[in-house]
Amino acid sequence: MRARRRTVALAASLVLALGAGPLAVPAFASSTTPAAAGACPDGVNARALCEALAGLPDADATAALVRVGGTDGTWRGSAGVRDLASGRAADPDARFRAGSVTKVVTAAAVLKLAARGEIDLGRPVQRYLPGLLGKDFRPVTVRQLLNHTSGIPAGDGLGETFEEVYAHRYDTLTPQAVVASAAAKGPEFRPGRKQHYLNINYTVLGLLIEKVTGRPYAVAATDLVLAPAGMADTYFPGTDPRILGPHNHGYQAVEKADGTTEFVDVTEWNQADRFAAGDMISTTADLERLLNSLFAGRIVPRPQLREMFTVPAHIEGAEYSAGLQRFEYGGRVHWLKSGGRYGYNALIAGTRNLSRTLVYSVNATDAKGEGMNPVAERIALAALK
């Protein structure tokens, strides 16, 4: 019972929108790399990590890619299949949708511009983007956008249910339209009074980056963050619904009228509305480069980097900083960011001194579900303890 309580606490603290419980599904053939299947040396909880990937694909995930690193040691593993039709082994170097891990890049780009004197974190965003928010909004500082204390409500999407948004997966919803729909609702709370994690904060930050640099977000973010970190396999797809280059397919489990479960291929999806909040495509190796470069101070100068490791002290229960989330587990403080798009879950996590790092991509079959995906949960428990 104690172990179960610990697992539930971890799931709640990580706030990962990952897949949910067991489903009635056809049998899968398991496919794992040697690292996941049997070559499990001592160190870095390797045995537990191997066990975490055992049996994939299953009802919860069709593939998983994992990289554990840091001064404590390293471990690499992958399991599952590239696609259900062929049953080929998952590509460990595959590209995937990183979802809200994009926010780490956006935050780093803003902080780098702040270090150059091009952005003042204490200045209202309305001064940079006049007319973006209505007269009902009090001044919202750039820092309040970074740490989700702006009070700007969520913008509208292309539907509420999976069936609704899936029907519109090739449609384009612009960031400007998303912000306009949020602004029309008026403020959710007075800026700085609460912390509410929402994509809208980083959608606005993406528009701010474009205004300050005079370049599209994708170009500016690549120049400011991706290129210095050596992330050659990472890009922003914009309105292109495809994942270019090698990739493992993503699936959503959908219950049919007869009670059986169908796995719908959701690999292709126009993510334009996610923009600077969540449309990045990357690899586990690139995200590990981002994590190491960022925490080591090679991307953002250390005075501004402190913003990424500072949560608002005046807000009770606050756990989000600029681009990251504070998470304490196993006697260590980890700084992490998770991301979830249909068919794909991703996470980067690390201790401040880089003694332990974790990057994973899990092809969850309910990536936008309420609970934590069981496969991702097993990986996190094994890697972070």
Q: Give the pLDDT of residue 23.
A: 29
pLDDT, mean over the chain = 90
Determine the Cα–Cα distance for residues 148 and 200; give it in Å rounded to an integer: 9
State phi, psi for 151 to the nearest 5 degrees: 85, 5
Residue 119 amino acid letter = I
Q: Give the pLDDT of residue 312.
A: 97
pLDDT in tens, 10-52: 444 443 333 322 223 334 444 445 444 345 545 568 889 999 9
Q: Give the pLDDT of residue 325.
A: 97
Neighbours of 88 (CB within 10 A): 11
The answer to whether 336 touches 327, Cβ cutoff 8 Å, is yes
Q: What would the mean pLDDT of 120-128 be, rounded to a whole number? A: 98
State phi, psi for 371 to the nearest 5 degrees: -95, 180
CATH number for the domain including 79?
3.40.710.10
**Confidence band of 354 (pLDDT split at 50, 70, 90):** very high
Residues labelled catalytic: 100
Out of 30-44, 93-107, 217-231, 310-324, pick the least confident. Answer: 30-44
Element (H or E) spanning 375, and its range?
helix 374-384
Q: Measured over all CA atoms, what is the biggest interatomic distance in the chain, rounded to whole angstroms?
A: 62
Q: Give the pLDDT of residue 181.
A: 98
> 């120049």: which residue's tokens?
223
Q: For the whole model, what pTM was predicted?
A: 0.91
The answer to whether 359 touches 347, Cβ cutoff 8 Å, is yes
Determine the Cα–Cα distance for residues 240 and 230; give it in Å rounded to an integer: 23
Q: What would the mean pLDDT of 297-305 be, rounded to a whole number? A: 97
Q: Give the pLDDT of residue 43.
A: 57
Taking alpha carbons only, the member of 250, 310, 205, 209 closest to residue 98 is: 250
Q: Give the pLDDT of residue 82.
A: 98
Identify the domain containing residue 19 by its residue range. Answer: 2-384
The answer to whether 322 touches 111, Cβ cutoff 8 Å, is yes
Q: Give the pLDDT of residue 38.
A: 42
Residue 108 amino acid letter = A
Kindly tell me the number of DSSP H helices and DSSP E strands found in the chain. 15, 10
pLDDT in tens, 72-85: 889 999 999 999 99
**Radius of gyration from C-alpha coordinates of the chain:** 20
Out of 68-72, 235-239, 338-342, pick the least confident. Answer: 68-72
The answer to whether 31 touches 346, Cβ cutoff 8 Å, is no
Greater confidence (259 vs 8) lies with: 259
Question: How many domains is the chain built from?
Answer: 1
Exposed e or buried b per residue across 187-213, where buried means at least 16 C-beta atoms within 10 angstroms of its C-beta: bbeebbebbbebbbbbbbbbbbbbebb
